[in-house]
Amino acid sequence: MYLGKKIVVVMPAYNAAQTVTQTVDEVLQQDIVDEIILVDDRSRDDTVAVASSLLGVRVHVHEKNTGYGGNQKTCYRLALQAGADIVIMVHPDYQYTPKLIPAMASMIANDLHPCVLASRILGGYSLQGGMPTWKYVANRFLTAAENILLGAKLSEYHTGYRAFSKGVLQKLDLSNNSDDFVFDNQMLAQILWHGFTIGEVSCPTKYFKEASSINFRRSVKYGFGCLNVGLQFRLARLGLAKPKIFFT
Ligand SMILES: Nc1nc2c(ncn2[C@@H]2O[C@H](COP(=O)(O)OP(=O)(O)O)[C@@H](O)[C@H]2O)c(=O)[nH]1
Ligand SMILES: [Mg+2]
């Protein structure tokens, strides 16, 4: 609990057996965390066995593989059912340090922002942290385009480390969002669409083999998906389209 608010950490997991223990250990070191929910999307490794052996983690296993966005839909549904006031999504691949959880939660609990992102770009250390140059360039380009289309000023839209208030999660209708990676981007666009503000904290970047599996082809698909989200947002603002993700 923090300021009387229940803090739930959700982990969308896929093939995270090598890294989930370390991630959970560090989450548990954050005294304010009340509950950890890990949703496994039919991993092909031992993620479920390893996660189930960890004390303090509730493991939910998908009946079939639904993708990264589908996984998050389950994460937020379960977190709200568990009575969360603040939900923090962190990947179980140990790419993002759980040590930022108190900082992110405090920004929400103190009503500064209902959504907080841990940005790898803010501060300028992502390349030193090992982010591949092509990912950095793509991130910067997509961020610039989306800031224009969405009328926002974020340092990045692509981090896998995000915190939301209960109010945001109750307001957003995630059911029409993609089950793929572009889900993340749609969610941020919806948050801005509904007039919520987004705060950012600077997060150290770590890249190693187990922390990144998205290949170039899937990244290109994701990139075009992000541009489409921005375009849909702008068209909707101009009254020229009524995309389902904003109008349900
Ligand atoms: N459900 C599902 N999740 C995936 C899949 N591939 C990756 N993920 C999840 O998406 C997250 C981001 O993928 P990752 O490869 O770490 O991307 P990167 O760190 O941004 O390069 C991972 O932590 C996984 O939990 C997939 O095929 N299905
Ligand atoms: Mg990763």
In tens, the pLDDT along 160-174 reads 999 999 999 999 999
User: 106 by DSSP, 3-state: which?
Assistant: helix
Q: Following CA atoms 111, 115, 121, 122 in sequence, which dihedral angle do they give, to the nearest 10 degrees?
A: -10
In tens, the pLDDT along 34-54 reads 999 999 999 999 999 999 999
pLDDT interval class at 216 (50, 70, 90): confident
- Retrieve residue 87's tokens: 């939900």
| Centre of ligand 2 from the C-alpha of residue 248, in Å | 31
Does the beta carbon of 176 sit less than 6 angstroms from any atom of ligand 1? Answer: no
Query: Average pLDDT, stretch 187-208?
Result: 96
Instruction: Give the residue whose CA is nearest to atom 17 of ligand 1.
Output: 212
Return the pLDDT at 211. Answer: 83
Backbone torsion region of residue 151, taken as left when φ is above 0, otherwise alpha when ψ lies between -120 and 50, otherwise beta: left
pLDDT interval class at 31 (50, 70, 90): very high
Please check the confidence at residue 33 and state whether its pLDDT lies above 80.
yes
**Spatial separation of the C-alpha atoms in residues 163 and 195, rounded to whole Å:** 16
**Spatial separation of the C-alpha atoms in residues 45 and 14, rounded to whole Å:** 8
Q: Which residue among 62, 91, 217, 219 is best mutated to probe the pocket of ligand 1, counting the most ligand atoms within 8 A of its Cβ?
A: 91
- What percentage of residues in the chain have a pLDDT greater than 70? 100
User: Considering every ligand atom, which ligand is closest to the CA of 180?
Assistant: 1
Does the beta carbon of 52 sit less than 6 angstroms from any atom of ligand 1? Answer: no
Return the pLDDT at 186. Answer: 98
Domains and CATH numbers, the chain: 7-237 (3.90.550.10)
pTM for the model stands at 0.96
8 Å CB contact between 94 and 23: yes
Q: What is the mean pLDDT of the chain?
A: 96
Nearest alpha carbon to residue 49 among 4, 13, 7, 90? 13
Measured from the Cα of 91, ligand 1's closest atom is 23
Please check the confidence at residue 135 and state whether its pLDDT lies above 90.
yes
Q: Exposure string (b/e) for 134-171, b if CB count within 10 Å is 16 or more?
A: ebbebbeebbebbbebbebebbbbbbbbbbbbbebbee
Please check the confidence at residue 146 and state whether its pLDDT lies above 90.
yes
Return the pLDDT at 212. Answer: 78
In tens, the pLDDT along 76-95 reads 999 999 999 999 999 999 99
The burial class, CB within 10 Å (0-12 / 13-18 / 19+), for 213 is exposed
| Centre of ligand 1 from the C-alpha of residue 241, in Å | 31
